[in-house]
Structure 1
Amino acid sequence: MSQIQLITFDLDDTLWAVKPALIRAEQEQNDWLKQHRPGTVEHHTHESLFEFKKSVWKRHPELAHHISKMREQSLYELQIAVGYTPEDARIGAKEAFEVFLHFRHKVELYENALRVLELLHPHYTLGAITNGNADVYKTDAAEYFDFAILAEEVGASKPAPIAFEEALKRSGFRAHQAAHIGDHWEHDVLGARNAGFHAIWLNASNVGWPHDSEPPLTIQSLDELPNLVASLGEF
């Protein structure tokens, strides 16, 4: 029997490709602004809008791990910059962000993701740990997850250990009983290792390990995950 009792998953680019959802969500958000807060974004190019966002990030380092609040702050300042009142800008930022978040969750899971989650769920506690603001319970994978942790909830992003530690608290397991799977070599692999988890790298592109530490357990497809996790009990 495998010693692993808990499996945690990164979400974006691990269970689904995030870029299509983000592009659509951003477009829907901007369309809402054009209709309800005219003048806010029409004069911006994609590049200038990104530069504006970066300026907001620099002015608000306290929001570095609060991605939703950071986006709302950017939306607020975009409106203030063109003359909307603080009250209108606050209302507009909240409503535009709600539009963004709705479409941000219109993700299409990888073809094998639901199949793998269905296989794992009867045998392991499954959790989500994400630096983004995706709510796994608003996706087709909802029924398979026992808990989910967002960086903005714990005030720190992976590879900081706090989210992994929170996963252990919620599940009741110890670090050596846990495995984390993710696509990002630093956030997911080094983060999991630093927290004492077994780290599994989803390296779909088969790129070389970019760190000077020992390469992690690696899979190119989620289909490989059930057998790999089961084999950890044999080490």
Structure 2
Amino acid sequence: MKTPAQNAPTTTDRDTGAGLDTSRIRAITLDLDDTLWPIWPTIARAEQALAGWLAQHAPATATLGADRQTLREVREHTGRSRPDLAHDLSALRRESIRALLLRAGDDPALAEPAFEVFFAERQRVDLFEDARPALQRLGARFPIVALSNGNADVQRVGIGAHFVASISAREFGVGKPDARIFHAGAQAAGVAPAEVLHIGDDAHLDGVGALNAGMQLAWVNRGGHPWDHAPLQPHITLTDLRVLCDALGL
């Protein structure tokens, strides 16, 4: 999961978009979690739905999983033992559920339907107020490619119509901040990386990754966090995506 973004520029010019070269933007790559919706309330609801399902179908596992320390140990062990799944959050979650079922003495085959309960709820997000209007305005001018390390599905979330493509770390094999996934986003949009504006909230994963990939960066800093990656700097910093749309003349 994401960690809070760190350390932001405070100059008036950058905050108002004076550092953004709008003339060379031909496409948008866009992060999802914590950029279009808050992720942790979504995950909390999904985990609650999973716990409720386990209480009915695997009560011993539900009891075991109610202990936060045990749950943390199982997840950490799964991550260490399955480094091949480092960029596949769905598979890691599924294998963690399977490991918990095994530890509790329940049928590990229940991991599949249990995960589906979690995953379905994980797609039920509450968009930030500015997200849908911004998607409509941005999508009317530019091709938009979703670029995520997470496992949200833009179609199941209900915003797929705004995207020409969606690339996840799970499908691609590497995640942000690796430049390769950003370049894949540019390729999916049919443009060069220098012609892409990446929009995302995580200063390291989105920010450093996009800048090192040769893209312009719109850093979504809803929490007023500072930026800690000098000399790299976002081209524009914003707390509301509508501000970006205005800066782009949309």
TM-score normalised by the chain length of structure 1: 0.91
**Contact 1:5–1:173 under 8 Å retained in 2:** yes
The residue matched to 2:60 in structure 1 has which SS?
A: coil
1:59 partner amino acid: S
Gaps of 5+ in 1: none
State the superposition RMSD in angstroms: 1.6
| Structure 2 partner of 1:27 | 48
Q: Shift of residue 230 of structure 1?
A: 5.2
The residue matched to 2:197 in structure 1 has which SS?
A: strand
Provide, for residues 120-169 of structure 1, a one-character-per-residue CA deviation record: whole Å limited to 9, x for no partner.
11210011101110011112322211111111011112101222121122
2:153 partner amino acid: D
Matched, 1:12 2:30: no
Cα distance in 2 for residues equivalent to 1:22 and 1:117? 23
Matched, 1:50 2:72: yes
* Aligned 1:2-151 pairs, distance under 5 A: 2-43=23-64, 44-84=66-106, 88-89=107-108, 91-151=109-169
2:213 partner amino acid: A
TM-score normalised by the chain length of structure 2: 0.86
**Percent of pairs with identical residues:** 36
The residue matched to 2:28 in structure 1 has which SS?
A: strand
Cα distance in 1 for residues equivalent to 2:80 and 2:43? 22
| Structure 2 partner of 1:220 | 239
| Structure 1 partner of 2:225 | 207
Cα distance in 2 for residues equivalent to 1:205 and 1:38? 39
Matched, 1:184 2:184: no
Q: Shift of residue 3 of structure 1?
A: 2.1
Gaps of 5+ in 2: 1-21
**Contact 1:28–1:100 under 8 Å retained in 2:** yes
How many pairs were matched up?
Answer: 227
Provide, for residues 179-235 of structure 1, a one-character-per-residue CA deviation record: whole Å limited to 9, x for no partner.
10111000001111111111111111222211232321211211111233459xxxx
2:132 partner amino acid: L
Cα distance in 2 for residues equivalent to 1:22 and 1:205? 19
Cα distance in 1 for residues equivalent to 2:241 and 2:162? 15
The residue matched to 1:157 in structure 2 has which SS?
A: coil
**Contact 1:105–1:138 under 8 Å retained in 2:** yes
Provide, for residues 77-127 of structure 1, a one-character-per-residue CA deviation record: whole Å limited to 9, x for no partner.
11111223xxx41x3111011000100011011111111111111210011
2:47 partner amino acid: E
